[in-house]
Amino acid sequence: MACFTFFKFMMVLSNLLILLGGLTLLGVGIWVRVDKGLFLQVLSPFSTLDTQFVNVCFFCIAIGGVLVLLGVLGCCGAHKGSKCLLLLFFSIILIIFIAEVAAGTVALAYSSFLNCCGFTNYTDFTDSYYSEQSEGSYPPSCCQLDTAPCSQQQAWHSAVQGCLKQLLKALQKHANIVGGIAVGIGGLEVTAMLVSMYLYCYLDNNVS
């Protein structure tokens, strides 16, 4: 019982902080959207790139809305002992976690594949379906020149690295930063899922 009370208290407290953070982001986003001029006047003494900050209003509104929803679900679910709300909270966190992993993978791959050619090098496209459909030419990324189409000789002279090497370089270069952030956020999300599932299971066992 003491363990359940502790986790319940921590669940309510942490989700109150999430709720406050979400309301703050939501408020800032709506403020920027509704009163753009006043926001720029306030921001102008601190930055010469004011207009770029205005574009983040939609991002703030979206993230703030999600945080508010999570905060309400977490607080109400833990405080009222609602299995339904706790399960919904767990499900949303799980979806966000999966989406973040997928988005991170795609973003890493996309940023790495902009300057690479094939899996190993340009020879991966030799006699490939792409080559047959493009009359023997290679993808533009295989040539450093701006001329099109990219021929085999141009690809050979350009010597663009394969995507595998670029991906490994990107991982090595940003491993500490990306890994630290990912582990931190992922750890918080996994912890939230574990706590909510513990509360759900406790309530389920005691009700039944």
Buried b (16+ CB within 10 A) or exposed e, 140-171: ebbbeeeeeebbbebbeebebebbeebbeebe
Query: What are 149's two structure tokens?
Result: 């189409």
pTM across the whole model:
0.56
Report percent pLDDT > 90 for the chain: 0
Amino acid 48: pLDDT: 44
Amino acid 153: pLDDT: 84
Task: Give 65-79 pLDDT, tens digit per residue.
Answer: 888 888 888 888 888
Task: Give 121-139 pLDDT, tens digit per residue.
Answer: 888 888 877 777 777 888 8
| The pLDDT of residue 166 is above 60 | yes
Q: Which of 18, 29, 77 is nearest to 55 (CA)?
A: 29
Contacts of 29 (CB under 8 A, 6+ apart): 56, 57, 58, 59, 60, 61, 62, 64
Lowest average pLDDT, out of 52-56, 66-70, 83-87, 192-196, goes to 52-56
Q: DSSP states of 152-166 as a string?
A: HHHHHHHTPPPHHHH
